[in-house]
Amino acid sequence: MSDEINTRGEGAAVEDDEEGDSIISLIDDEGRTSEYEILDAIETEEGRFVALMPLASIDEETGEAEYMILQVDVVDDEEELAEIEDDELLMALDDLFRERFKEMYDDEDEQPVESGNDSLAEA
């Protein structure tokens, strides 16, 4: 994945599907478009962060999926998403999002969502 993804660029769109989930199309630096579901967003002392699930990552057999955490930066009055370089911050954010997911999706029938961030997958 490239370092920055412009969420307001040409072709980027946010829409709600029939269940009210927020879906966003992102265009990376190479011009590739991918769709993601916005799982959650938080603001901490370190900044604003979002947890996104690539729609292509959902395993149709198990229903399991991976998610990634990106930082929201404002550049020239436009929001951009950037990868998080600080591994300790990333681990802390992963813990925070997991706790929030437990509260939001407290359904024993729900399949777990796994972190797709490389440094988190090793934890």
DSSP 45: T
Residue 66: pLDDT band (50, 70, 90) is confident
Lowest-confidence range among 7-11, 43-47, 73-77, 91-95? 7-11
Lowest-confidence range among 16-25, 50-59, 64-73, 97-106? 16-25
- Domain boundaries of the chain, sorted by first residue: 4-121
> pLDDT per residue over 15-45, tens digit each?
444 454 689 998 888 999 999 999 999 999 9
Coil, helix or strand at residue 100: helix
d(CA 1, CA 13) in angstroms, rounded, equals 19
Question: What mean pLDDT do residues 38-55 have?
Answer: 93
pTM of full prediction above 0.85 = no
